[in-house]
Amino acid sequence: MAKHGALLYSYAFPILALAMSLLCTAIDEEDRKVHIVYLGSLPSDELYSPLSHQLGILERVVQGSSAANVLVRSYGRSLNGFAAKLTNRERQKLANMKEVVSVFPSTTFQLHTTRSWDFMGFSESISRSKMVESNVVMAVIDSGIWPESDSFKDDGFGPPPKTWKGACQGGQNFTCNNKIIGARFYTSEESARDEIGHGSHTASTAAGNAVKDVSFYGLARGTARGGVPAGRIAAYNVCTNQGCSSVDILAAFDDCVDDGVSLITISIGRTVATSFETDPIAIGAFHAMKKGILTVQSAGNSGPGNGTVSSGAPWILTVAASSIDRKFITKAVLGNETNLVGISVNSFESNESSYPLIYGKNASKQCSEFLARYCLEGCLDPDLVKEKIVLCDWSGGYVEADRAGAKGAILSNSRDDVASVVPLSATGLNNREYAVAKSYQNSTRNPRAKILKSEIIKDPAAPCVASFSSRGPNRIVPEILKPDITGPGIDIVAAYSPNASVSASPYDERHVKYNVLSGTSMSCPHAAGVAAYVKEFHTDWSPAAIKSAIMTTAWPMNDTSTSPGEFAYGSGHLNPVRAINPGLVYEASEEDYMKFLCMMLDEEKIRLISGDKSTCPTGSDKGSPKDLNYPSMAANVTSMNLFTINFHRRVKNVGLANSNYKALISTNSKVDIKVVPEVLSFKSLNEEKNFTVTVDGRDMPEGSHVSASLCWYDGSHNCIVRSPIVISSVSA
């Protein structure tokens, strides 16, 4: 019997093992998830086929399916890689291959004017060369574009520049022209047409035509225009209402770099920063930089908390958002004649009529009082709010008030720097003003109120960094100060999709050609427009030089709730007119960035990314991330210790051939900062000089910061080149 049992076991065990293997494979097949496999740069071999190579790699790891069946997208125009549906086991095998830089899951990214350009001193009459400007092609990676908008008409435009190699593949009923010279889509909607409004808004802010007499229902009337109105636009649609896929974002970079664009603006990001080799925007922007193309990205809308900035790569210009000197206010008048001033973009006329006032918690039959007071979705009863104004303890309560058919809404708005477009007559009050409204409602037998149409006032405090704007420090590399710059991002009027909802309410049936939006999504294309303007005057400048010019000529800022302020606004506020004459620039080459990456990745991966036989420095030559020739300076030190920090920098003379610059340090901190040498003397254009900034200090408490700035002054006592310096104290 034992013999038969052993024989039975010898047959049964392999069958059981095979069954278990098949079961695991079946489970794995069901658990396939889309991942991006980044292979670095494309080989220079003309016979190299990216797709064949990528399929060959997949075939070595894929089980239970053919490589072609799991391949989602191939990247092979500007960078090397692919997206595929992988099991966890296949992902691990790929990650261990020598020819693979990184493997990371595809995630969903989020989409993060009539006055803003004038506010920066960048008037319509500013000096510009329309002929050179017409050769600038602005790539807009976003939600597409509305080609029929007046902002994108091609009246007076000649044919596209000869350097353009792209295509118009916008889908059905989409036509390009000599303004929109390229269009591609990557989403399931199979069109480059903007159905959200976001892409049209950013595109027109960066490079839209000058369109006169634009307003939002009569509010903020003026001329809407982009930074380079004579520039061309190439639109790459990677977003839907559900977000923007990593796979599609990287595909857009792969295409646009090879299409021959001049600059890239991308107002898209994630809420959490990730390492550069697993960030599709950092990867795409790196390969754009290799081709001489600067990428400008929004910092994110996750502020005001520290460490919320999601764009940390030094080859990207990262843009925060700030206010302009135009502000929308909306007044609520209580029945006792008390005037309360709030903010919103309220286009509805009041007709001087007042209506009964009801608190949200008293206007619900289906929600608890706690939920109803916030006017949460589905809580307000239409019969109880009809012909009434609702008090809501939440700034977003206007959506539910609109759904329920209320006459208006008075909202508690803790962030009183941003006006939202509202779908009904509504205003958002700060905590003090809202408490007055609630007190009146509670203490009056028949409380009433009226809400007036919004009006425009001048804001003398501008520019101030927006409360929502993501802040530093840079969680990936603290030695690279982020964001880099701030620009107009609050209440910006620009082109919009007439198919999109005007407000956040799905019940809002209004449609407009121009809308008011806020976010770092709006400040990003402002910075891209400035970068294009700089490129117009300096066509041969590198991305690093353009970025340096923008950062070192920025307006100094100091009005922020963030400590230090540089974590909110970086080098300061965009200053377009000054940016074309920076005097000196901090240059950085691909080789500099590769040396920087050597501090984070092994040499094999560095060679894959560079596409050559690059080697990494060793020993004392390896350096530190703070040694990258960056226009700002940042470092961490151990708390309550003595410290000495050295920043090694070099600048290139792009001003007068014979020129002298003297260093001056500005600081309110108890640290000693020296610059050696203190004077830089140049004898020719493009001459480079090295200098070292040394910061000595002691006993900084944990979590504290030292903020200073270095200015290079010319002979006329003007600060020509300004760089912020930030030292942060961390635990040992």
Interatomic CA distance for residues 287 and 38, integer angstroms: 12
Angle separating helix axes 280-290 and 246-259, nearest 10 degrees: 10
Neighbours of 601 (CB within 10 A): 18
Contact 394, 376 (CB under 8 A): yes
- Alpha helices, DSSP H, located in 260-417: 280-290, 369-372, 382-385, 398-404
Do 69 and 63 meet the contact criterion of CB atoms below 8 Å apart?
A: no
Beta-strand pair 137-142/263-266: parallel
| Distance from the first to the final alpha carbon of the chain | 69
DSSP element (H, E) containing 53: helix 50-59
506 CB neighbour count, 10 Å cutoff: 11
CA distance 494 to 523: 12
Catalytic entry in 142, 254, 393, 417: 142
- Catalytic pick among 298, 412, 521, 709: 521
Q: Please tell me which residue in 35, 53, 112, 198 is annotated as part of the active site.
A: 198
E strands of 112-242, at which residues?
Answer: 137-142, 180-185, 211-216, 219-224, 232-237, 239-240
- The verdict on whether omega for the bond into residue 631 sits within 30 degrees of 0, i.e. cis, is no
Residue 293 CA to residue 163 CA, distance in Å, equals 13
168 three-class SS: strand
Q: Is 511 a catalytic residue?
A: no
CA distance 350 to 338: 16
3-state secondary structure 211-256: EEEEEECCEEEEEECCCCCCCEEEEEECEECCEEEHHHHHHHHHHH
Q: How far apart are CA 536 and CA 35, in angstroms?
A: 39
User: 198 an active-site residue?
Assistant: yes
Residue 358 CA to residue 247 CA, distance in Å, equals: 48
Rounded Cα distance between 362 and 337, Å, is: 24
Is the N-terminal amide bond of 304 cis, ω within 30° of 0? yes
| Cβ–Cβ under 8 Å, residues 313 and 630 | no
Output b/e per residue, 97-132; b: 16+ Cβ within 10 A: eeebbbbbebbebbbbbbbbbbbbebeeeeebeeee
Q: How far apart are CA 470 and CA 477, in angstroms?
A: 16
Beta strands in 282-424 (DSSP E): 294-298, 316-322, 326-334, 339-342, 355-359, 389-392, 408-412
DSSP E strands, 485-544: 485-488, 492-495, 514-517
695 within 8 A of 673, measured Cβ to Cβ? yes
Which pair of structure tokens corresponds to residue 504?
A: 């956040």
Buried/exposed code over 41-66 (b: 16+ C-beta within 10 A; e: otherwise) = bbeeeeeeebeebbbebbeebbeebe
Alpha-carbon distance of 446 to 654, in angstroms, equals 70
Is residue 521 annotated as a catalytic residue, yes or no? yes
The set of catalytic residues is 142, 198, 521
